[in-house]
Structure 1
């Protein structure tokens, strides 16, 4: 039986391990802390195709098909509801931007995005502020419960035979004497024919340890959750001209984000909320939803994740260590991509190729940019 090691117990690592195990591989997944410790378990849970970099749309559409039957994949619906995603246009400039976006996407052959006018927006989201003029929309996008999704993938991995080891840190990578890849850990060395680097914000260092410099940095997107209020908003809402991610959970709490950044410390594996910056998200939320004025914040947090300079992921085999495959750099929007990206990486590792559209994500794009 062919043997693989997956480094990193976030959703992308677990998705890769799950698909590999179901292809008949013997898979060991190594996680330094516990699964979902950083961004996978504490993000906003957005399941969206809308508004993506056009290079991501193909993979996102493929993943949306998998989310439609997520219970079939991992044995749990992960709290996924397809109540729509909307980016509100607050002025004429925003509305023109939304219209241009739809035209761009449709010129590429995709039809999932549309512009809704003021009346339709108000019919769908009655609580939105009166000044809203319309929105960019994808009606069958939605959201899921991040930690429920993490635990569903964990259970599915274990049931598929993945040897999931938490509390083991990877120290370095090298060629194995007999071929394949050696993984040095604090529990001793391990070897495998194929290794996946799904280590999130720490994946840059792993790549560099084998002589492969991938540019990028860590980010720490902040989130707010409020007290429970009566239901008033089913879709997930953003803004065309301002940073906002806004959704109300089934329990009535409201989760607010949008990419406002906290402080992170990679070495210590910690992140810190910066309240002055986080307040900007609260201001946008109350201006788009006046009903939120006076609602109490209950807690806030941020999770560490990897971000290349072009903010799209790095997926592909290492150019310096054959048998090592990268999957990281999802830049705060990898949650929805995890089912399809995991399958793509597993197929690359097991078969040497995949039909899933991952061509734009190879790390070679950075060396090509330097050459140009």
Structure 2
């Protein structure tokens, strides 16, 4: 039986499910069209950080958006726990970005200075080796110092993903797996027809939240989503006793006791394989930061293709040629989950992005079409 919806969200990853859950809380009739389990989503391969430090360097609106999103994570975690019973294991111990040379420490100082100069709300503190050792005596001799931000945190990202899916279904959102959108057509009287292998359906509004596939889909509705995906690789160790009370940007201990290590960025568009060459570099740097890690066995590795826009900053936009069509692209799906659920979703249901989203328009790109909302 054919159904029409208030909003169709294309993509059921962390971004799409956060938006759909937010729309469901507003009593909207929502459908999520997704590839399902075959999707190679970043939601299953990310590092699970709620990270503020350094975000928005050169883009003050993004820095503010990130701070607001991280600040609302306790509210999000509690709302999902109350609805689904799932503990997302959100913690905010503050985060350290380690420096293994004086040159790296100078780079951290430059970031802190530039963020302060642009008025970033999240302060970054610089710690020398002696001060850092008092906090983390397990650091290795190669560690020169670190930068620190008290707003940085982390979560159980797989449980977060599960909670959004259980939560949106509990709110009546119609989730359709194995239904990737092949075509979007505007209806003469307003709204959209969406064609999938599972059939066609209609919606008054459509949200493109399909990761790197947004670049292809955006052209169909007068939107622009220039993407430049990269590959990241992660190493996971066996479980161990409590080792890290603090959060490091590239090393974190999960709530289950394993150590996650990730410190790579490769310009690989499709291949999600892991490589020994990159894995060896990641492991060596982690061992230099915390020598005790060398005693742990590696139990698995994986890689994922990051959803990355051409300039690395989020895109939130709406179309003038196809009213009711929106696009959302971002790399920081975990950090910004609360913003997408509590702030972006109401804008979409209202049919208009407000001033808070304006800085993230793809109009900032030189090749942007004239069909983007002013």
For normalisation by structure 1, the TM-score amounts to 0.88
Q: What is the match of residue 257 of structure 1?
A: 262
Q: Deviations over 1:71-119 (max 9, x none)?
A: 3331244111112210012333333332332232223142432212323
1:63 aligns with 2:69: yes
Moved over 6 A (4+): 368-371
Q: Which structure 1 segments of 5+ residues have no match?
A: 239-244
Q: What is the match of residue 242 of structure 1?
A: none
Q: CA deviation at 1:353?
A: 4.2
Rounded Cα–Cα distance in structure 1 between residues aligned with 2:340 and 2:115: 21
Structure 1 residues 42 and 176: CA distance shift in structure 2, 3 A: same
Q: CA deviation at 1:144?
A: 0.6
Structure 1 residues 219 and 101: CA distance shift in structure 2, 3 A: closer
Q: CA deviation at 1:295?
A: 2.6
Query: For 2:27, what is the secondary structure of its paired residue?
Result: coil
Q: What is the match of residue 299 of structure 2?
A: 298
Given that 1:10 and 1:35 are in contact with CA atoms closer than 8 Å, whether structure 2 keeps it comes out as no
Rounded Cα–Cα distance in structure 1 between residues aligned with 2:368 and 2:109: 31
Given that 2:324 and 2:351 are in contact with CA atoms closer than 8 Å, whether structure 1 keeps it comes out as no
Given that 2:54 and 2:112 are in contact with CA atoms closer than 8 Å, whether structure 1 keeps it comes out as no
1:26 aligns with 2:29: yes
Rounded Cα–Cα distance in structure 2 between residues aligned with 1:170 and 1:105: 40
Structure 1 residues 319 and 278: CA distance shift in structure 2, 3 A: farther
Q: Which structure 2 segments of 5+ residues have no match?
A: none
Aligned 1:179-190 pairs, distance under 5 A: 179-190=190-201
Match of 2:231 among 186, 205, 220: 220
Judge which range, 211-220 or 247-256, deviates more: 211-220
Given that 2:43 and 2:158 are in contact with CA atoms closer than 8 Å, whether structure 1 keeps it comes out as yes
Match of 1:146 among 145, 150, 157: 157
Q: What is the match of residue 95 of structure 1?
A: 105
Given that 2:67 and 2:121 are in contact with CA atoms closer than 8 Å, whether structure 1 keeps it comes out as no
Given that 2:52 and 2:151 are in contact with CA atoms closer than 8 Å, whether structure 1 keeps it comes out as no
Structure 1 residues 344 and 317: CA distance shift in structure 2, 3 A: farther
Q: More strand per residue: 1 or 2? A: 1
Q: Deviations over 1:238-265 (max 9, x none)?
A: 3xxxxxx111223331111123338553
1:325 aligns with 2:326: yes
Given that 2:214 and 2:225 are in contact with CA atoms closer than 8 Å, whether structure 1 keeps it comes out as no
Match of 1:49 among 46, 49, 52: 52
RMSD: 2.5
Q: What is the match of residue 137 of structure 1?
A: 148
Rounded Cα–Cα distance in structure 1 between residues aligned with 2:266 and 2:248: 19
Aligned residues: 359
